[in-house]
Structure 1
């Protein structure tokens, strides 16, 4: 069953990710988050990881993938990839941009030591608006979501030194699932 799921899921993710039209550049993505109301975090955070596009798809079993860059005090220091596996009620595909802010050196080092995981999450996404909630023992529960220009900040604070914000770019996905995000960091 795992091979059959992979056979259908990953081509769907690749196709969906390639068709997204806006915010493909890192500077455009950063500008979207600034306009959404979290611009002060880019200046005050110790560092951040920025993902212009993460593609997500699922049918009972789902997954997501995105590539990003990691910055320390505003300077690029490496790249990161995000993979996610979920299981539960889910149907469709969506795309979103994500930024993870690191409040201090400890949180930054925890993320950049190689492999890092966020815990479980529950999220419902419809077109260009989203409602997100996260429950985690290893990650962030601060989420901002919304359309390209109208993100709502659900929680402005850090959780265990990290704050995560997402902006939905498009797609249609219904989801009540359990899973987690895994990040791999490569120093520049």
Structure 2
């Protein structure tokens, strides 16, 4: 058991050091790249982002686990094409898990009500403060019409690594200063 604790601590140190070092300029650039990648993968996603009241982009979310897991990333909330505030996303989990990954997550707030509830919170938890419908790409990059009608829509893409987990439920999103 001691060995697993040390491996987890080393993993957390590695991922938190690489995730927390992002400057405002770096986050802004990564946000642009993540949105371009999403639009490239799906014309339907491009249409949804153009209709969204707010777009929360986490271009690089790092996740690692060995029985105990953790996830961390930094991003920005975009309104009318401008980054207006910066956030981090973090979660912890227990249970069988082994591996590491990096992924991009984008959350679209499709209604003013959903966006205002998010912006007025000091810390927002997916699944508790708002239900996020995770969009999956069909043939030709199309998105399920039922998902497209939800007030909050999430995209998870660009998975790299050996731990694939397509959920953001339980992830805590908190404002940061950049």
Name the TM tier (shorter chain).
0.7 to 0.9
Deviates more, 1:176-185 or 1:42-51: 176-185
In structure 2, what is the equivalent of residue 182 of structure 1? 172
In structure 1, what is the equivalent of residue 23 of structure 2? none
Instruction: Decide whether the 8 Å contact of 1:86 with 1:179 is kept in 2.
Output: no
Higher strand share: 1
Q: Distance in 1 between matches of 2:159 and 2:92?
A: 20
Instruction: Decide whether the 8 Å contact of 2:64 with 2:101 is kept in 1.
Output: yes
For residues 114-153 of structure 1, the aligned pairs below 5 Å read 114-119=122-127, 138-144=130-136, 153=143
Gap runs ≥5 in structure 2: 21-28
Q: Distance in 2 between matches of 1:49 and 1:164?
A: 9
In structure 1, what is the equivalent of residue 74 of structure 2? 67
For residues 45-56 of structure 1, the aligned pairs below 5 Å read 45-56=52-63
SS of match in other structure, 2:33: helix
Q: Distance in 1 between matches of 2:65 and 2:95?
A: 9
Scaled by the length of structure 2, the TM-score of the pair is: 0.75
In structure 2, what is the equivalent of residue 171 of structure 1? 161
Pair 1:88 & 2:95 matched: yes
* CA distance 1:115–1:175, shift in 2 (3 Å): closer
Q: Of 1, 9, 12, which aligns to 1:10? A: 12
Q: After TM superposition, give the deviation of residue 138 of structure 1 in Å.
A: 3.0
In structure 2, what is the equivalent of residue 42 of structure 1? 49
Instruction: Decide whether the 8 Å contact of 1:52 with 1:97 is kept in 2.
Output: yes
Q: After TM superposition, give the deviation of residue 11 of structure 1 in Å.
A: 1.7
SS of match in other structure, 1:25: helix
Higher helix share: 2
Deviations 1:2-61, CA, capped at 9 Å, x for gaps: xx476334124247769xxxxx72211110011111111221011110111000011111
Gap runs ≥5 in structure 1: 19-23, 120-135
Deviations 1:127-177, CA, capped at 9 Å, x for gaps: xxxxxxxxx77320323379xxx9774664254x20000113311016699
Q: Distance in 2 between matches of 1:63 and 1:158?
A: 31
Answer with 1 or 2: which has the greater Rg.
Answer: 2
